[in-house]
Structure formats: C-alpha cells, structure tokens
Chain A
Amino acid sequence: MTTAATSIKQANWTEVTVEVCGGPVAVAQAGSGPAVFVLPRDNGHAPGNEFLDRLAAEFSISYPWYPGFDHGEPAAWEWLTNPRDLAVVMRQLAPALGLDAVSVVGLGFGGWIAAEMATTWGPGLERLVLVSPMGVKPENGYIYDQFIVSTEHYARAMFHDEAKFEAIYGAEPDFDQLAGWETDREMASRIGWKPYMYNVALPRLLSGVTAPALIVAGADDQVVPAECAEIYRASLPNATLETVPACGHAVDLEFPDVLAAKVAAFLKR
C-alpha cells in the first residue's frame, strides 16, 4: 500500500496503520513535542522530505498516505469521490491516532483537505497552516490541469527551479515513482475531476474557522494562482499570508528550511 517510511531520509520515522471508515490508512510518524498532522499533495509523498525532518525535531509529526494513493488500490476506495469525503477520513484519522489537540499543515491539495477539515473542527484544532492550498476558485486564472499532461510533467510544474526537482526525483524518475504517481493521479481524478480542485462553498465555510491560520505561498506557483492564497487569507477570520520568493508550488521541497522555520515559529507562537 505504501512506499514505506524508509522513503523518508532520516531515521526515526515509523509507520502505523489504522482502520478508518472501513479501510486501512497508513501514517508515517516521527519526532516528539506538540502534535502536528501534515497532509501531502495530490502526487503523494516525495522521496525524502527535509521539511518534515526539520519539523520533527520540534514536533510530533503524523504524515498519512491518503487512501488509494502512492501504490495503493484506488478501486478499494471506490466510494471516495470528493474532497470532503477525504477530509472526513482525515478528520477521523486524527482521533484514531490519539491526536486530540493538533495543528494541521496541508501542502497544496492537502491544504484544501486541511481547510475542509477545519470547517467542521471546533476545539482541538490548535493551528492551521495552508501551503499553496488548492480548494478555492481563482477569479482570474486556473488551477493547473494535471489530467492532460504526464504525471512527471505535473510534478516538474510544481518547481520554480527544475534542478531542485531533479535533486529529489532524479533527472528521470524511476518506474516505481511513475507507478506511484499513476495511482495518485487516479485517486486525484476520482476526488477532484470536476469542478477541478475547488469548492465554491469553501470561502463561506471558512468564515467559521477560529483557529489561527498561516498561509504560505510560493511567489512563482504555476499550479495554484497566487490569488487563491489571498482568497484564503480574506476568508479565514484569523489568518496571515507569507510569500516565499523564487519558489514554486512545492514550497516544502524547494525551500524546506525556510518553510520549516516559518511553520515552527507560527506553531510556537
């Protein structure tokens, strides 16, 4: 089901599997300290993630594999057909992991799922961090359509600096990576085909989220238009927005140190 926690560079990552909504959900865990729940992008876990390693130095990180993604079995989750369903699965995963008071960090697509979770989460949600979040409809631009390009093309589009992509995935990602991306894409298609990666109701629903929120966007995000981060900032009652210069969609992969510092500072505030 998963690429296993060994895909994460540093030691001390473990993997647990818990039953949620009738199916197994695997979670990579590391670190100690206040609980932080990190939700991945729609193209799954990256091989190695310095951002998570850095965060694990100060926090107790839970980093799930979305069901069906990353070499999973999309057909086994055939009922999972919209982002709110996934948000509910993730919301139910938190108590299943014993996380009662938790901050949530969502990356890209995971930012959308985190936002959906926050709209129905009262006490217990400490803080919310949305990194280049999808999920709201841009007024002028469009969210990059992954379904008419290859999975590798999509992953490359997430970077301002292609050399950083190649440092992580290699100049030619291996077959195992491509196969993982293919299941990611199928699940993303099940969940986000139409409307493509937004929920028109979300800005209204976000008005009820009281947890402090930090939004971080790459200044050169080719996947999610910059205006989406601004819509989030304006819709959340207690949010600040920070931009990382010369950075694409995958802020955690392009500037892991910068993002980890921003997130840690915000979570400790």
Chain B
Amino acid sequence: MHLMYFTEQPMSAWNPEHAALDEITVAGRKQRVTALLHSNRYFDSQDGSRLYNERLEEYQLVDELGFDGIMLNEHHTAPFCMSPRVNLFASILAATTKNVKIVLLGNPLPIWDNPVHLAEELSIIDMVSKGRLVSGFVRGGGVENIQANVNPVFNRERFEEAHDLVIKAWTQPGPFRWEGKHYQFRVVNPWATPLQQPHPRIWIPGVASKETVIWAAKHRYPYLGLNTNFDVSQKIKDIYVESARSVGYEPGPENFGQLLQCHVAETEEKAERNAQQFMWMAGEFTGLAHPVWGNPSGYGSPSNRKAFIEIAAGRRPLVKPPPMHQRRMERTFIWGTPDHVIEQLKTVLDNNRVGILALWGNDGKIDHKDSVSCINLMGKEVMPAIKDYAKQLGLLDPFEANAPISLDVPAIAAV
C-alpha cells in the first residue's frame, strides 16, 4: 500500500464574501463567481507568504512521519488552490524532504506549449530528489485551458502528443526532431534526463472520463479515482480491466488508486467541525463558475454534449456534490477520530482493493495547528493500521509489486 498525504493548498485567508463582488450572468441570472474572473485583488500576499511556509512545514512533517508520498496538484485563477505550477512545490520538496515520494497528479500536459521543457524540469526534480518522483499527467480542467489560452478543442490531442514527446525525450538519446500535429521542435536534446531509468512512474488521476481510463489502461499506468464512490470506482475498474486485457495483461491492485477526503482529529466533534471546511470548498468555492468555463467548447466528449448544452443554458442544474453526511455514508468523505477513520478506510479497501491511497487531509479554513494535528494522527495511528490491513488483503502498490512502469517498459532500474 502506497499511502500519501494531499491538500489542495487552499487560500484559507480568502474571504468568501468577496465572491459576491464579482458576479457574472448565467442564463439571465446573476451568479457569484470564485474562479477565472474572480479578481486577484482579493489575494493577499502577506497571507500567501504565511500559508506557503506553513504548508512547507506540514509537508516536512509528512516526510518525517514516514508517509509514502506527498501528492501535489495545480489549479489556476482561483482561491481554492494556491499551487499554480505543480513543479514548483515538487522542486522545493525534492530538496527539503528525505524519503517521501513526490507524486504529481499532475502536470496538465495540454497547457504546456513546450513539453521538452517539462521533460527537463521533471528530470531535474527526479535527480534532486534522488529518484523520488512519480510523474502523473492530467488533461487540466476547462479553466486551466482558458487561462493558459490553449485551445480546448485540441485538449486530448495535445495531452497524448505531449505525453509521447516527454516519454521520447526521457528515453531516447537526442538530438532528434519532432514534427507532430501540435508540437514541432527542430532539436530535442535536453541535457537533463531522469535518475529513475528509463523514466519515473506515471500515474493518472481522474473522475472517470472513459477515454482517459482506457488510455491509462492501455499504457499500463495506474489510474486513481478522485473522490469517486464505490459505484464509480467499480465502473472505472471494469473499463480498465477490459482495456488491460485487450492489450494482454491482467491488472491488480497496483493498477488502481483512490483519493479520499479524510480528516482526522482527537475528537469526533472537532473532526466534524473541521470537515465542514471541505464542504465550504466543494459546494461553494469550486461550484461558482460559468458552466462554459469548466467545459469549454470541444473539451468534453461529443457523447456528453446534450447534457452540457442544457447545463450551459441554465436548463439543467450543475451537478453539485451531495451533502457531507451522504458523502460520509458513501465513504467518499471520512472524518473522525483515528479509530473511526481506520474502520472506514478498511471498508474502502475491502471494496475498492486499491494499492494506492491518497488522503486529502486538510482543506478550507482548517488552520495550521489543526492541520499539523491531523497529519500527526494520520501518520502515527491511521497509517500503520491501514498499511497493515492492506498487507493482509494483499494490496501491493506499484513499488511493492515491482510492476512494469508501462506497457513498453517491464521494470524500473534500481536507483
């Protein structure tokens, strides 16, 4: 079991009342907005400085407690995530942590205009961290594409081509030329290559886009469901297994991962109080955007077009996360004392049988002190119990299983 800690790095000093000050009109109705057009005049760099440094202290603690990984992500132009470039914190952690894997979930490939530079940056992170990089890739949300001014119509094509270019830059000696559909380079010859040979592991997170699950399975990359419930996780698994068999291998727990919101506190009351913060983020924060931003033209599957057209026109409501107690019942959101959390996570492992578990420990306005307390309880009490249970269930992670890093690469060389 690979167990890692995650936080979306919220701008917890942000005042939600400011959202009322930037309104947009959707389907003739005024709506508050907390992304893309929500002015950065409400970003306070004094608070930003404090929060970035508190976060680094928390990540340091995660490393010291012996977590297997720190999961990092990125988002743009919104207060729910202060990390606009996943490689920045990865670079810092490469130098400041000792043992923990640095798991990027991930770099949004389509918004990179120069994937060769991405290959270089990731190689340096891998070398500085002494081979602790896990390099996940994502398509990036609609807002990510719009803010980067990358045409969303070509999102999937750019994702796949950038991936192919990064892999080639990592695995084949330069110089070589690249004349692709979306990327062209006269000379690809990066003087930085990964320490892990032939390249770091690649994990793919998502919320069950069928095309991406199939793509991941056909490359033999582990797929991590992001807050997916048991039903959706099973659907992912079914699609993945079918695709894996079509290319000739049988996937195991090492091919599957799960991210869950999971807050641990000394008492049930405190845990529930802090858990409210996750809902403030999910229900209010990320929900306040124009439907078109999340799903810009050509970004989604044509098969989803009908539903999207109705949502964009305001004739069908955006799907919002269920209330927190419903999510607790579904075990996509777990909070409580260590004993309670352990029992709930065991049920998740019984059902989903994943080899990779990411725990989204802190969010919203949960302060540094409570974040540290959560990380301590998670690392000292929850993690040992859960790793032991996973061992009983035979839930090996990709490292323990020494799984091939891709369909093309049977094993990773020892670092």
Contact = CB atoms under 8 A, between A and B. Distances in A.
A230 interface: no
Interface in A194-219: 194
Contacts of B385: none
Given A150-B27, A153-B25, A189-B152, A179 B305 contact: yes
Nearest to B152: A189
Contacts of A193: 149, 151, 153
Interface stretch (B190-198, B221-229, B266-274, B309-317): B309-317
A179 to B, nearest CB: 6
Interface string B95-122: 0000000000000000000000000000
Contacts of B290: 148-150
Nearest to B26: A150
Interface in A154-197: 173, 175, 178-179, 182, 185-186, 188-190, 193-194
B246 interface: no
Contact of A175 (B37, B298, B302, B309): B309
B309 A148 contact: no
A151 interface: yes
A151 B309 CA distance: 9
Q: What is the interface residue range for chain B against chain A?
A: 20 to 34
B331 to A, nearest CB: 36
B297 A179 contact: no
A257 interface: no
Interface string B283-305: 00000001111001110001001
B298 A178 contact: no
A85 to B, nearest CB: 14
Chain A facing B: main interface SS: helix
Which of B27, B36, B298, B308 has the most chain A CB atoms closer than 10 A to its own CB? B298
Contact of B292 (A147, A186, A190): A147
A137 B48 CA distance: 38
A138 to B, nearest CB: 18
B320 interface: no
A190 B297 CA distance: 9
A152 interface: yes
B148 to A, nearest CB: 11
A195 to B, nearest CB: 10
B159 to A, nearest CB: 16
Interface in B136-163: 146, 149, 151-153
A153 B30 CA distance: 13
Interface in B395-409: none
B306 interface: yes
Contacts of B296: 147, 189
A189 B27 CA distance: 21
A188 B151 CA distance: 11
7 contacts: A150-B26, A175-B310, A185-B297, A189-B297, A190-B298, A193-B151, A193-B153
Given A150-B290, A186-B297, 20 more contacts: A74-B153, A147-B292, A148-B292, A148-B293, A149-B292, A150-B291, A150-B292, A150-B312, A173-B313, A175-B310, A178-B310, A178-B313, A182-B309, A186-B298, A188-B297, A189-B298, A190-B151, A190-B298, A193-B149, A193-B151
Interface of A: 74-75, 147-153, 173, 175, 178-179, 182, 185-186, 188-190, 193-194
Interface of B: 25-27, 36-37, 146, 149, 151-153, 290-293, 296-298, 302, 305-306, 308-310, 312-314
